[in-house]
Structure 1
C-alpha cells in the first residue's frame, strides 16, 4: 500500500508539471476534451506502467516520474533543474542511459551556447564556459554521492560488472520486440530451411536455447553471432542522425523531446539484452507530443498498442488473462477515442495499413492467449506464443521508429523552406 501511495504522489506531481507544458491551440470549454486532461489520463493510467508496477511488482513509476519531471523542466526552459533530475534518475537506474545522448547534446548545444545564430551554425564565441561548469558540477556531485562509497571501499569494479552483465546474452528469451528478435527468427528459419534442403547437418547446429526461456549467451546457427560491441555500434548509428539534428539545427525543447524518443527506441531496438518494459521509456514521453500533433498521435497509437501488448507475457497465468485484457482494452479504447476527438477536423489519425496491422494484433492475441493453450502439442513448444508475440510486435515498434525519423526529416525540410 505504501508503494502504491508513493507512486500515486509521483504520478500527480508529474501530471501537474507536464500538463502545464502542453501547447493548446484553442481552449475548449469541455475540460474532458482538453489536451492537458487527455495527457493526464494517458500518463496517470498508462496500462503498461500499471501492470509492470502493480501486478508484476516492480518499481518504475517513481523513476518515470523523475524522467517526466525532468522533461517538463526543460520544456519550461529550466535546464539546470532538468539536468539535476536526470542525473539523479540515471544514478537510480542505469537503463536511462538510453536517452543520455539526447540530454548531453541538447544541453551542450542549446544551454551552453548562449546565442542562436541566424544561419543555425555553431560559433564558439557564443559558448558559455560558466554554464558548462555548472552542468558538470551537477552531474559530478550526483555521481560522487552515488558512487563515492563504492570507490572508497574498492568495490566500483564489482558495481560496474553488475550494472552491465554482458554474459546474460543478446536477448531476454525473445521477450523484447526489437531487431534482434527478428534476427533470431531469421536465423532459425534459415537453419530449418537448410536442414530441410539437406544443406546443413542438424547434429552440427547449436541447440535451440534461445527459445528455452533461459537467460544465457547463445550462438546463432546460420547468421553471425552478435556481440555486445556490435549492438553498441548499431545503437549509436541508429541514434546518430537524431542527435546530429538537434546539434546542427536545434528546435528548442520539443526538438529535444523528439530526439529523446528516437534515442529511446533506437536503444530498445538495437541494444544488448533489452527488457520488454524498456519500451515505456518511449511510450510515456510520446504522450506529450500525441496530444499536440495528429501525426504524433498516430505514431503514439501504433507504438502504445504494440508495446503494451508485448508486455502480456509478463502476466502468464490463466487467472491474470481477464485482468490484463480488460485493463488494456480500457486504456486503448480511451486513447483512440480521445486522440481522435482531440484531432478531429485534421484528417484521420491512423493510416489504413496501420489499422490493418493493429487488427492483426487482435488475431495474434486470440491465437496466443486462447487457441494455443487448447492445442494438444502446445507443451512441446511452450515458448511459441512468446516468439510470435515478439516478432509481430517488433514490426510495429520498428515502424514507429521509422515514422518518428520521417517526421523529424519533414520538420527539418519545412524549416529550411
Structure 2
C-alpha cells in the first residue's frame, strides 16, 4: 500500500477535536471548499485518497449490532448493577451499597459516567429490570439492546480522536493504517462488544494523551491522563512514563546550572493545578461525604490471589506451569531419587501432603491466594518490586532525551512490566500494551515484536468467549493478515542490522503456531463432552492458551526491550512518521 502524494501542497484541515488539544490556538475560518468533521479528513477530490474512518464505523456498527444476541459475561450484569446503583441511590451511598456481589469498584468518573447513562434509559428498558437494585438482576432483550448500544455510541470518542490523529498527520497513509488497526481491534470486538466492557471509550482517552504528546500540548496531556485515571485506575501502570515525560519536557530545564532555575516552577505549578483540579472534581464529593476509605478499599482490594482463574499469559503463568510440571515429575520415583542426589527436593510423601493441604493451586477456577507446591510462593511485595524495577529502567531514557517515540516506547514497556509481573493480572490488560505499541509501527524491526504481542495477546482473549469460536477466530485471523501486510508495506528500515538472532523468523514461526494451538484446544473442548477422562483435566485448554501466549508476550517484551535500550536511532525521532 503506497502513499499517494499530491503535487500541490495540501491544505491542513482542523478537526473538531483540535480545540481540545491546543487551548491557546486561535480558531481559523475554514475554507468553503474544506469541510471538517470527526470522521472526514478531507473532502475527496480527484486524484486524492479519502482517509476517513466513517466507512469503518458504519461497517463495524452493523457487525456489532448483529452480535447483540451473542454471549455476554457477568461484566454485563456488573454494569447493569452499576446503572441501578448510581440511578437509585444518592452519591454518598455508591461505594457502600452491597446488595449484589457486583459492587461499584471503578473510580468516580466512571461512576458519574454510569449515572449519565442511566438518565437515558427508556421507560421500556426500566420496566425490563435494567435499573432494579437487587441481588441478582432479571432482565430481557430490551436491556441487552440498550447496554450494547451504549458501548457502540461511547466508542465514537475513539474514532473521533483517531480521526484527528490522521487529520493532523503529514503521512496520512501510515496514520490511517495505525488508526484503522485500533478501531478494528479484535480485542475491542471480543472484550467490549461480546464479553461486554467500555474499553473503546477509555482507550480513546489514552489515544488523546498520546496525540497531545505528539503535538507537545503538555498541559492538555496532563489533563487527559488525570481524567483517564479517574475513569479506570488500571492506567496507573502507565503513570511512570507520563510523569517522567512531562517532568523532563515541561518542568526541568537541563540548560540551567542554577538549582533554582533548573526547575520551571511556573510550569510545575500549572501541571500540578491541572491534575489536582481533575482529582478534586472526581473525589471531592466523596471526601465531603466521608466515604473515601470505602471508595479506596473498593479500588484496591488485596484479598485476591497472584493469578486469575484463567492465568493471564505472563511470567506467573509460566511460573505456575513449571510448578505443575515439577509436581508431576518429582512424583516419579526414579526422577525424584536422581534429583535428590544433586539438589534438595521434597520427597514424594511431602509433595503429596502439600497437595492435600493446599487450598488453591491455581487450577481450580478460584481467585483467592495461590499456593505453589514446589516453587516458592510469590507475594504482592515481589510483584511490586519487579514491576517498579522495570518501570524505572524503561523511563530512564525518557529522562535523558524526551522524544515522542521514546515516550511511547516507555509507555509500552510500563504496560509490559505491569502485565508480566503484576499481582492478579487479568488477560484483558494485554490491550494496555497493544494500543500504545501500535503507534510505534513505523520500522520493520518493531513490527516483528508487535505482531507477536498482537497475535498472542488477541488469541489469549479467546477463552473469554466460550462460544462464537468461528467469529472470534476468523475476525482475528483476517485482522492479523490485513495489518501484517499493511504495516509491512508502510514501515521501513532505519537500522543497519537486518536481524537480532533471526528474531523475524522466530516471530513468523511463533505466530503461525497460534493456528494449530487454537485448533487443538477447540478439538479438546469438543472431546471433553465425549470422554470422561478428559473432564478430569478441565483447565488443560486454558493452561495451553496461557503458556503458549505467555511465551509470545515474554518474547515480544524481550525483543522490544532490546531495541529500546540498544538501538537509539529508532527512538530519536520526535514524530510518529
Same fold (TM over 0.5): yes
Change (3 A) 1:211 1:124: farther
Give the number of the structure with larger relative contact order, counting CA–CA contacts within 8 Å between residues 6 or more apart.
Answer: 1
Which residue of 2 is the match for residue 330 of structure 1? Answer: 478
Change (3 A) 1:251 1:339: same
Which residue of 2 is the match for residue 285 of structure 1? Answer: 436
The alpha-carbon deviation at position 148 of structure 1 amounts to: 1.7
Q: Distance in 2 between matches of 1:283 and 1:314?
A: 18
Aligned pair partner of 1:351 in 495, 500, 504: 504
Contact preservation (8 Å) 2:213, 2:221: yes
Which residue of 1 is the match for residue 122 of structure 2? Answer: none
Q: Distance in 2 between matches of 1:163 and 1:55?
A: 25
Q: Distance in 2 between matches of 1:80 and 1:122?
A: 25
Change (3 A) 1:6 1:114: farther
Change (3 A) 1:122 1:288: farther
Deviates more, 1:148-157 or 1:275-284: 148-157
Q: How does 1:17-416 map to 2 (within 5 A)?
A: 17-20=164-167, 24=171, 34-114=173-253, 125-197=261-333, 199-201=347-349, 202-205=352-355, 206-207=358-359, 209-247=361-399, 249-290=400-441, 292-317=442-467, 320-343=468-491, 351-375=504-528, 376=531, 377-412=533-568
The alpha-carbon deviation at position 56 of structure 1 amounts to: 0.5
Deviates more, 1:76-85 or 1:108-117: 108-117
Which residue of 1 is the match for residue 58 of structure 2? Answer: none
Which structure shows the higher helix fraction? 1
Contact preservation (8 Å) 2:311, 2:543: yes
Q: What is the TM-score of this pair, normalised by structure 2? A: 0.66
Change (3 A) 1:23 1:191: farther
Contact preservation (8 Å) 2:354, 2:373: no
Q: Distance in 1 between matches of 2:493 and 2:567?
A: 21
For the residue of structure 2 that corresponds to 1:146, the secondary structure is helix
Q: Distance in 1 between matches of 2:426 and 2:322?
A: 20
Q: How many residues align structurally?
A: 401
The alpha-carbon deviation at position 114 of structure 1 amounts to: 4.1
In structure 1, list runs of 5 or more residues that go unmatched: 28-33
Change (3 A) 1:235 1:22: farther
Contact preservation (8 Å) 2:195, 2:465: yes
Deviations 1:144-188 (A, max 9, x none): 121222222222122111111111111112431011111111122
Supply the RMSD in Å over aligned alpha carbons: 2.4
Deviates more, 1:80-89 or 1:187-196: 187-196
Which residue of 1 is the match for residue 157 of structure 2? Answer: 10
The alpha-carbon deviation at position 203 of structure 1 amounts to: 2.8
